[in-house]
């Protein structure tokens, strides 16, 4: 019987800590059929904008829809690649420059599947999840982030 | 009907939730919004109906959640 | 003037701990021009061999040559992709099933460079570094690992 | 000259370091090794001279490090 997966919460309040990432990696030590993990981390950049220097990004989301979309993306990626595990975490609220706002983690027996799936996941998350980043500028201005 | 607004659109309409009359489809809703909030005419946004993206003229059933979504910028 | 890089030690005794990975991620919080990190982790699998079940891999290397090769690979990848940082760690000695034996970490302003560089690094490390893994089997047999 | 042996080759020759006469090139060294350790004839291995991979017949300068490398299996 096929394992039934349900929508998981992907949202984390504020920045994603390196300790959370370490814990997530450690949790996979018992899965001894895994040969490779691929991880992507998005980090907030101190970009210089017309309005000034970015000091943080404030994330909001249409949470219900984002979780539903994330679930559909998960299912599609699991169907396409022979993965053992897949995890997606995205920040909500304020994430300061230098902090982690996105954590995508795929694992598989052989490295190729994990790497390709991770890359595709990141692209789809950026394109398809209803999440918005508002760039907080150091002089108290702000600007809406634009994905390219 | 209840309309959720996100990101820059919530800023323009001054609210995260709008309560408006029922509109039968997304084009009529769009016309109403442009009339009420002229700044929206210069903005790219998608209308989600029941948490699904729509394009062109899409039917809006009664009692479903409608949302105004500016371009996504997660990650 | 171009920054002069010198050969760095890539070898770690035994398994690479999740805490080391977390520390390495945390060290990049001050580099506020980084927008994306790509990480690959190799984990030892409990493969079933003719001789029995793998319980660990014992790594040895021609260390001097491996460091020289790793340095050349680093330079080539830095020349090819606009990276901010690049780190390579490989275990020597015994790494048990479920533990991490390879940690490759690339960072860049935009995600694509980090991802592509990470993938290319992993391929080159496996193909070009004089490192050998001896699979330790649970009944005290052993077999030499073969990269595919 | 000193020859380093790694991985399965070190097991076959029973040592990680061999001290042998000087050989002028890698093909003559290979012939010597096959003669001394017949099991090596059935193994794929590369000879590194001064920490560089060689292929075919390569000159071996005096006083450089020579190493016998079975197929790599790092990672």
Chain A residues inside the 8 Å CB shell of B7: 60, 132, 134, 144
Residue A3: pLDDT band with limits 50, 70, 90: low
Percent of chain C residues topping a pLDDT of 70: 97
Q: Does C47 lie at the interface with D, CB-CB under 8 angstroms? A: no
- Interface contact flag, B73 A127, Cβ < 8 Å: no
Angle at C26 between CA C56 and CA A25, to 5 degrees: 35
A26 inside domain: yes
Residues D57 and D27: beta-carbon distance below 8 Å: yes
Residue A2: pLDDT band with limits 50, 70, 90: low
Cα dihedral sign, B3-B5-B10-B15: positive
B73 inside domain: no
Structural tokens at position B9: 């659109």
Q: Does A140 lie at the interface with B, CB-CB under 8 angstroms? A: no
CATH, residue B38: 3.10.20
A48 inside domain: yes
Chain B residues inside the 8 Å CB shell of A127: 72
How many domains are there within chain D? 1
Domain that holds residue D16: 2-62
Q: How far is C81 from chain D (nearest CA, A)?
A: 22
D74 inside domain: no
- Interface contact flag, D75 C64, Cβ < 8 Å: no
What angle in degrees, to the nearest 10, is found between the helix axes of C111-128 and A111-128?
Answer: 180
Distance CA B5, CA B65 (A): 11
B46 inside domain: yes
Q: Report the 10 Å Cβ neighbour count for A18.
A: 22
Predicted confidence at residue D65, as pLDDT, reads 94
CATH, residue A82: 3.90.1170.40
D57 inside domain: yes
Residues A38 and A115: beta-carbon distance below 8 Å: yes
Q: Does residue C16 carry a pLDDT above 60?
A: yes
Predicted confidence at residue A148, as pLDDT, reads 74
Buried b / exposed e along B23-46 (16+ C-beta atoms within 10 A): beebeebbeebeeebeebeeeebe
Q: Does residue A139 carry a pLDDT above 80?
A: no
Cα dihedral sign, A114-A119-A120-A122: positive
CA distances from A77 to A46, A114, A120 (A): 32, 10, 8
Residue C146: pLDDT band with limits 50, 70, 90: confident
B75 inside domain: no
Q: Does C48 lie at the interface with A, CB-CB under 8 angstroms? A: no
Residue C3: pLDDT band with limits 50, 70, 90: low
> Which of A128, A142, A144 to mutate against chain B (most B CBs within 10 Å)?
A144
Please choose, from the candidates A72, B59, B43, the residue with its C-alpha nearest in 3D space to the C-alpha of residue B68: B43
B71 inside domain: no
Low-confidence ranges of chain D (pLDDT < 70): none
- Interface contact flag, C132 D48, Cβ < 8 Å: no
Dump pLDDT digits (tens) for C54-64.
Answer: 999 999 999 99
Please choose, from the candidates D6, D71, D73, the residue with its C-alpha nearest in 3D space to the C-alpha of residue D45: D71
Angle at B50 between CA A57 and CA A129, to 5 degrees: 30
Phi, psi (degrees; rounded to nearest 5) at A41: -125, 130
Predicted confidence at residue A141, as pLDDT, reads 83
Distance CA C115, CA A42 (A): 12
How many domains are there within chain A? 1
Q: Does residue C101 carry a pLDDT above 70?
A: yes
Distance CA B19, CA B3 (A): 6
Dump pLDDT digits (tens) for A82-137.
Answer: 999 999 999 999 999 999 999 999 999 999 999 999 999 999 999 999 999 999 99
> Which residues are A89's β-sheet partners?
A103
Distance CA C108, CA C103 (A): 17
Q: How far is D3 from chain C (nearest CA, A)?
A: 12
Predicted confidence at residue C2, as pLDDT, reads 55
A107 inside domain: yes
A21-30, A132-141, C23-32: range with lowest mean pLDDT = A132-141
Q: Does residue C135 carry a pLDDT above 80?
A: yes
Chain D residues inside the 8 Å CB shell of C132: 6-8, 70, 72-74
Dump pLDDT digits (tens) for A24-77.
Answer: 999 999 999 999 999 999 999 999 998 899 999 999 999 999 999 999 999 999
CA distances from D74 to B53, C116, D37, D43, D70 (A): 47, 20, 25, 18, 12
Distance CA D18, CA D64 (A): 14
Q: Among A26, A99, A119, select the one facing C115 at the smallest CB separation.
A: A119
Dump pLDDT digits (tens) for B43-68.
Answer: 999 999 999 999 999 999 998 999 99
> Please, do chains A and B touch (3+ CB pairs < 8 Å)?
yes
Dump pLDDT digits (tens) for B21-48.
Answer: 899 999 999 999 999 999 999 999 999 9
Predicted confidence at residue A5, as pLDDT, reads 72
Q: How many CA atoms lie within 13 A of A116 on its CB side?
A: 10
């Amino acid at each position: 019987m096929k394992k039934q997966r349900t929508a998981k919460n992907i949202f984390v309040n504020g920045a994603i800590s390196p300790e959370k990432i370490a814990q997530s990696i450690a949790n996979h030590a018992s899965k001894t059929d895994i040969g490779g993990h691929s991880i992507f981390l998005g980090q907030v950049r101190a970009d210089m904008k017309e309005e000034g220097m970015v000091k943080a990004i404030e994330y909001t989301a249409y949470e219900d829809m984002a979780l539903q979309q994330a679930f559909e993306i998960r299912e599609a990626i699991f169907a396409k690649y022979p993965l053992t595990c897949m995890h997606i975490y995205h920040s909500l609220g304020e994430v300061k420059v230098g902090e982690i706002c996105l954590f995508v983690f795929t694992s598989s027996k052989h490295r190729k599947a994990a790497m390709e799936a991770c890359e595709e996941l990141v692209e789809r998350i950026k394109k398809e999840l209803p999440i918005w980043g508002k760039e907080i500028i150091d002089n108290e201005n702000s600007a809406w982030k634009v994905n390219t | 009907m209840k309309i959720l607004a996100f990101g820059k659109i919530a800023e323009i309409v001054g609210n995260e939730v709008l309560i408006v009359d029922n509109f039968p489809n997304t084009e009529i809703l769009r016309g109403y919004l442009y009339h009420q909030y002229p700044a929206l005419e210069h903005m790219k946004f998608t209308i989600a109906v029941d948490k699904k993206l729509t394009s062109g003229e899409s039917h809006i059933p009664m009692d479903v959640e409608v949302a105004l979504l500016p371009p996504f910028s997660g990650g």
